[in-house]
Amino acid sequence: MTTSDHALRLSVVVPVRNEEGNVEPLINEIVAACTSVGAFEIVYVDDGSTDKTLQRLRELKATVPMLRVLHHERSCGQSAAVRSGVRISKGRVIVTLDGDGQNNPAYIPQMLTQIESNDQIGMVAGQRIGRKDTGFKRWQSRTANRVRSWVLKDSTRDTGCGLKAIMRDVYLALPYFDALHRFMPALVVREGYHVSHVDVTDRPRYTGVSNYGFFDRLWVGIKDLIGVAWLISRRKRIPVVTEIV
């Protein structure tokens, strides 16, 4: 696997929008979970929040030295926020997680070790168990995952889990589009890498309500699913590149 020479082992990228009550407890959990892994950074991307999320992040920067904060002037969506964070990250491995507290950072060291254990693994995807969402939301997610799995054959039960570890160079090689985060396993396989999985226990969000609705996931997802299937069909060979010296 080809990787850039990054100064850090790990960057934790967290996209947030209107999560003012969740940033401090989650950052504290990330710091506690990652202390054992060596050098790391936390990159928060405020995606056009209209509450006090950005203010809280600015305050926390004064006491959390590994925290970096980006701000979108207006909301551009979760995938755009993740992309902004990854592009300025310094870690060889990127771990993403949702900013509402439902993803437990305690799984990060395990996922980091797993992705570094084999250079053919491009991504470790969390798969939620014990979902804490409403019955309608769980039905919606199960339906979308079954359709996606049937079409793309990506062998991933739950692509909606925000907790993912991916090599930075692999992420940057993926074609970018809105809602990319829901199709990353299939696109990582398209690049010639394996995807490994970790079961993670879902938690209730700390405070607030979800920023993503039914139509965001369903109708847009159908259009994206067709596009991703086309992309996969057009990648016939993975080049094996050797530099002659």
What does each C-alpha distance from 104 to 147, 199, 228, 244 come to in angstroms? Answer: 27, 11, 29, 45
Inter-axis angle of helices 108-116 and 23-34, to 10 degrees?
Answer: 50
Residue 148 predicted with pLDDT over 70? no
Q: Return d(Cα 141, Cα 144) in angstroms, integer.
A: 5
- Structure confidence at residue 4 as a pLDDT band (50, 70, 90): very low
Q: Domains of the chain: which residue ranges?
A: 8-233
Domain boundaries 8-233, corresponding CATH code: 3.90.550.10
Three-state DSSP at 187 gives helix
For 26-50, how does the pLDDT look when each residue is reduced to its tens digit (9 = 90+)? 999 999 999 999 999 999 999 999 9
CB 161 within 8 A of CB 103: yes
Per-residue pLDDT tens for 187-219? Answer: 999 899 999 999 999 898 888 776 654 444 555
Give the tens place of pLDDT for each residue, 44-93. Answer: 999 999 999 999 999 999 999 999 999 999 999 999 999 999 999 999 99
Q: Which pLDDT value is given to residue 84?
A: 97
pLDDT digit string, tens, across residues 212-244: 544 445 555 677 787 777 777 777 677 777 788
